[in-house]
Structure 1
Amino acid sequence: MTTQLGGPATRALHAPAAGPPPRPEKYTSVTGQLIKAGLLGLVVAIAVWAAFPLVEHEAWVGLALLVLTTGALLYLYLTPRHIPAKYLAPGTLLLIAFQLFPVLYTATTAFTNFGDGHRGTKQDAIVAIQTASVTQVPGSTQYALSVATTGDPATGPLVFLITDPATKVVSAGDASGLKKLDAADVTVTSAGKVTAADGYTVLTFGQASLRSKEITALAVPVDGGAIRSSGLSRAYEGKAGRAYDERCDCIRDTTSGKVWTADETAGSFVSTDGDRLAQGWKVNVGLSNFTRVVTDPDISGPFLRTLVWNFAFAIGSTGGTFVLGMLIAVALHSPRVRARNLYRVLLVLPYAMPAFAMLLVWRDMFNSDFGLINHVLGTDVDWLGQPMTARLAVLLVQLWLGYPYMFLVTTGALQAIPAELSEASRIDGAGAWQSFRRIVLPLLMVALTPLLISSFAFNFNNFNAIYLTTEGGPFAPDNPANGATDLLITYTYRLAFGGSGAQYGYAAAISIFIFLIVGTVSAIGFRRTRQQEEVYA
């Protein structure tokens, strides 16, 4: 067979070999470059701003990480290469900043005694103890006082502006100490009272009166004592009643001679009779916060009881809302139901309401004296005053608040299941219940199990549902720190911010327990989800 010259075969033989597509002409948008330059400039500005406190506190490791991260970002976005990394970098940094760093910080706090009285260093504790014991003695130096601030007059940090009666030198003092001011930067009356100072806002008498408690509590440390206010216009340099003795590493009362020796393991000054000064310092306590949960009978009992109720609440809330929401969704899935769209809108209304407001409304409805529930039912039940009824009440509230969500997601999952499957089962002789149990429900569980796991994790830490309804109560007379409806999260909150003082280290340890429990349950749940997907794939 002869091929015609110039035909398709000939053109194919003489066609140029296939190669890589031509590179598109590089196009650079001026607007895009300006936005890029602005964002990189913002990154550099934030890095410079963050570097100063790191240098001030000699945090060289943090400074090195800051420099390396900033340099890596500049290199990444100033070079045309590494395109995937350009998209991954912002998300990775946000993950580290908002997920990994808080978790790691909480974990490290759990191994310390950080809390009220144990916040700063040992030197901070010594200064606080000495300044708190300052009293006015005969011959104390008197100063004309002007109260000022470096911020907002109502909330800014307070500063004492005083004039030395002998040298007429003006100084500014706060909790960190006293520093002299340049005479050219201040305006002083003949009586030695400062009326204006560069960088400071002098409070009026009315503004100072509103902050009188803060002014009285402020002590400016100086050698051998501190400067404290005597009213709003005078101050005195008092003598410390308790002084630190470096030779014995102890605090000595200058009047009684009592001695409190430093205990480095507890981060406190302790006397021989066991008396402990309130002000201590932050130290590493190892696993004591974790062992305290298990070994201390005053804590282990309430903790285990709270843990059991926590599981019951999370399982009951998740299971109850799922069953009710699923039953309603299945009932309204039938096309024979008239006005089902209207029903769906009405049923979703609880989900559309602000949860915190509804919780407060339900709390009032459960009131034993004038609550709507007792009034309608004609009962006299102290719903929130007894452990069992209070637990039942919070579960009912959660059922009302949570079923619309399960109703919505189940409705969506039902619409994704082919109707032919149910029709085929009916042809094979299966009834409605058999069809639902063997076909519809397993397919629903494949789609909804991840949502049930996330709902369980949410309810396990559902702070609002408990705190806004019962505040964790009712409380036993012998244990006002742990209530019958407390979850671990509300119990932890009460420990961290309760009236007995914050115990952040211990609260962080309990948070680690919560994290491990929820993480374990979630891992088991997701593993079962994968098994279901493999069976019904």
Structure 2
Amino acid sequence: MNAPLTGPGSAPQTPGRGPEGPQPTSRAARSDAPVTVTGLVVKVVLLGLAAAIAVWGAFPLIEAEAWGGLALLVATTAGLGYLYLTRRHIPMKYLVPGTLFLIAFQVLPVLITAATAFTNFSDGHRGTKDEAITAIQTASVVRVADSADYTLSVATKGDPGSDPLVFLITDPTTGTAYAGDSDGLSPLDPADVTVATGGKITAADGYTILNFGQAGARSQEVTDFVVPTEAGAIRAAGLTRAYEGRAVRAYDQACDCVRDAETGKVWTADEASGSFVADDGETLAQGWKVGVGLANFTRVLSDPNVSGPFLSTLIWNFAFAIGSTGGTFLLGMFCALALHHPRMRGTNLYRILLILPYAMPSFAMLLIWRDMFNTDFGLINNLFGLDVNWLGEPWSARLAVIMIQLWLGYPYMFLVATGALQSIPKELGEASAVDGANPWQRFRKITLPLLLISLSPLLISSFAFNFNNFNAIWLTTEGAPFPVDNPTVGATDLLITYTYRLAFGGQGAQFGYAAAISIFIFALVATISAISFRRTRAQEEVWS
């Protein structure tokens, strides 16, 4: 065996170091790295928090008998424990948190939205068929001559101003105290309640009894609140008395229908629509959630009350997105070109002034611009001596929202265009000038193509953002002006604001239909973005 060479000027070699400096350590050496106290504490706290969240989420799953979800929760928690309690799989330690957040906040909402799009989920169709039957029967409760009468105390289990109501009553014949909620009556332990003379409950463990002022502030809720019972339901008669009424409409399982005891009318269950429907076509307001297939999607094209406004909104949506993106890009680019000129002086001051709109809160600026376009006291009309109803006419309102978006969006394009211009080699412009190209030719043949290569991904993302720019419309016009014959779709409505109005509008929430339109918007933007990115890659290959 040859001995290691040593001699004058030679240094002894140590493990991990070579003649040219430090060498990479092995995987085993990295795994044996000492554990710091701070790192250990952070790991213990985070794993303990994950375990606590898992335990907290397990109880509802067990109560709902969702064994598949419980198994997934246990497997995920066990996997996280194994991953972070070992020194292996180092890359996964960094990838797993981001992947879990991606699944929780991106993938799951998309899947839930897609599933909702194929249902009739809406006001009146939120729960199961049994819940719909209960709601129909309790809503039809009326007081009859032999209705039982109770002394009533209105209570909650927490905040008297916002928590769900509970009726505390005593049976006048037995003196038994009960607590009634939307699920029915449950007896109270006599040791936990205080009953005054006359049967009124004045205190109960776990409940906050409302005084007359608090109950009066929620009088409409007290009137509408019902406690289902076997004979019908208990309803309030004022704030101190309650009665057990009889349901006029009752469900008959033999015919799978609801019968009205007073009129004899029958509503038969229609499983396809999730509703009880009479022979004359009348539908009870309360139904249940069912799958409807592609009905929500075909409604956009087949329903004349929807297809016309929908297509016009889609056209305006494209015009707004293209106009906003193109306008902000052109204005921002020209400002960047002007300040990029070598003869320009005071560029730092100008740049600060130009990015001021970008530094302001957009929601506040949108509200200010809305007032500036006001017909009576707005700055625009007063400054230029005009009498234009900017937000009251379709085309002027559309022009106004594009102008507002132009002012809000150009600073961003100015910033990115400034950075892109500084990355273009000056030699290209100088060489083209020597070849006899004028400024316009240099801009069109060199500067603009190179700018588009750098900015095309940003333009695509800006288009997608403006296509769904909810704030720009909702905070300025709320979709107005609306035609007289259709208060659902306004002249400045984008698909996203139209969808919001369908989902949360005053005419009844249509979550399934709104989800279908959301899927349509997602598919449309994804297709346009994919085509645009492909063209961008082709352009990059030409200049590479």
Q: Tell me the secondary structure at the aligned position of residue 263 of structure 2.
A: coil
> 1:483 maps to which residue?
490
Question: Structure 1's 4 and 482: CA in aligned 2 closer, same or farther, altered over 3 A?
Answer: closer
Distance 2:437 2:75 in 1: 67
> 1:99 maps to which residue?
106
Question: Structure 1's 5 and 394: CA in aligned 2 closer, same or farther, altered over 3 A?
Answer: closer
> 1:517 maps to which residue?
524
**Out of 70, 77, 88, which is 1:63 matched to?**
70
Distance 1:475 1:201 in 2: 47
> 1:88 maps to which residue?
95
Question: Structure 1's 271 and 26: CA in aligned 2 closer, same or farther, altered over 3 A?
Answer: same
Distance 2:412 2:304 in 1: 40
Distance 1:210 1:536 in 2: 71
Question: Structure 1's 7 and 94: CA in aligned 2 closer, same or farther, altered over 3 A?
Answer: closer
Distance 2:389 2:458 in 1: 35
Question: Structure 1's 4 and 359: CA in aligned 2 closer, same or farther, altered over 3 A?
Answer: closer
Matches within 5 A, 1:383-422: 383-422=390-429
Question: Structure 1's 328 and 15: CA in aligned 2 closer, same or farther, altered over 3 A?
Answer: closer
List per-residue Cα deviations over 1:31-72 (Å, max 9, x = no partner).
Answer: 322322222121111111111111222222211211111111
> 2:146 maps to which residue?
139
The alpha carbon displacement at 1:523 in A equals: 0.7
Q: TM-score w.r.t. structure 2 length?
A: 0.94
List per-residue Cα deviations over 1:475-503 (Å, max 9, x = no partner).
Answer: 11111111111110011111111121000
**Out of 144, 156, 160, which is 2:163 matched to?**
156
Matched, 1:23 2:55: no
Distance 2:91 2:473 in 1: 45
What is the one-letter code of the residue matched to 2:203?
A: A
> 2:534 maps to which residue?
527
Matches within 5 A, 1:323-472: 323-472=330-479
Distance 1:208 1:416 in 2: 69
The alpha carbon displacement at 1:515 in A equals: 0.1
**Out of 268, 273, 285, which is 1:278 matched to?**
285
Matches within 5 A, 1:26-65: 26-65=33-72
> 1:214 maps to which residue?
221
Question: Structure 1's 209 and 428: CA in aligned 2 closer, same or farther, altered over 3 A?
Answer: same
What is the one-letter code of the residue matched to 2:276?
A: F
The alpha carbon displacement at 1:83 in A equals: 1.4
The alpha carbon displacement at 1:465 in A equals: 1.0
Distance 2:4 2:333 in 1: 74
Deviates more, 1:318-327 or 1:359-368: 359-368
What is the one-letter code of the residue matched to 2:374?
A: N
The alpha carbon displacement at 1:5 in A equals: 11
> 1:536 maps to which residue?
543
The alpha carbon displacement at 1:299 in A equals: 0.7
What is the one-letter code of the residue matched to 2:272?
A: T
What is the one-letter code of the residue matched to 1:247?
A: A
What is the one-letter code of the residue matched to 2:410?
A: Y
Question: Structure 1's 251 and 442: CA in aligned 2 closer, same or farther, altered over 3 A?
Answer: same
What is the one-letter code of the residue matched to 1:310?
A: N
Q: Tell me the secondary structure at the aligned position of residue 180 of structure 2.
A: strand
Matched, 1:125 2:132: yes
The alpha carbon displacement at 1:431 in A equals: 1.5
The alpha carbon displacement at 1:471 in A equals: 1.3
Runs of 5+ unmatched residues, structure 1: none
The alpha carbon displacement at 1:116 in A equals: 0.3
Distance 1:226 1:298 in 2: 40
Distance 1:269 1:508 in 2: 24
Distance 2:247 2:471 in 1: 46
The alpha carbon displacement at 1:366 in A equals: 1.8
What is the one-letter code of the residue matched to 1:382?
A: N
Q: Tell me the secondary structure at the aligned position of residue 476 of structure 1.
A: coil
Q: Tell me the secondary structure at the aligned position of residue 178 of structure 1.
A: strand
What is the one-letter code of the residue matched to 2:29?
A: R
The alpha carbon displacement at 1:372 in A equals: 2.0
Deviates more, 1:42-51 or 1:449-458: 42-51
Runs of 5+ unmatched residues, structure 2: none
Distance 1:425 1:202 in 2: 85
Q: Which of structure 1's runs of 4+ aligned residues deviate more than 6 A?
A: 3-9, 14-20
The alpha carbon displacement at 1:8 in A equals: 6.8
Query: How many pairs were matched up?
Result: 533
The alpha carbon displacement at 1:418 in A equals: 2.0
What is the one-letter code of the residue matched to 1:135?
A: V
Question: Structure 1's 420 and 33: CA in aligned 2 closer, same or farther, altered over 3 A?
Answer: same
List per-residue Cα deviations over 1:382-414 (Å, max 9, x = no partner).
Answer: 222221111111111111111111111111111
The alpha carbon displacement at 1:167 in A equals: 1.2
Distance 2:34 2:197 in 1: 72
Distance 1:210 1:388 in 2: 45
> 2:326 maps to which residue?
319
Q: TM-score w.r.t. structure 1 length?
A: 0.95
Distance 2:503 2:236 in 1: 32
Question: Structure 1's 141 and 16: CA in aligned 2 closer, same or farther, altered over 3 A?
Answer: closer
The alpha carbon displacement at 1:211 in A equals: 1.2
Matched, 1:264 2:263: no
Distance 1:476 1:468 in 2: 19
Question: Structure 1's 333 and 6: CA in aligned 2 closer, same or farther, altered over 3 A?
Answer: closer
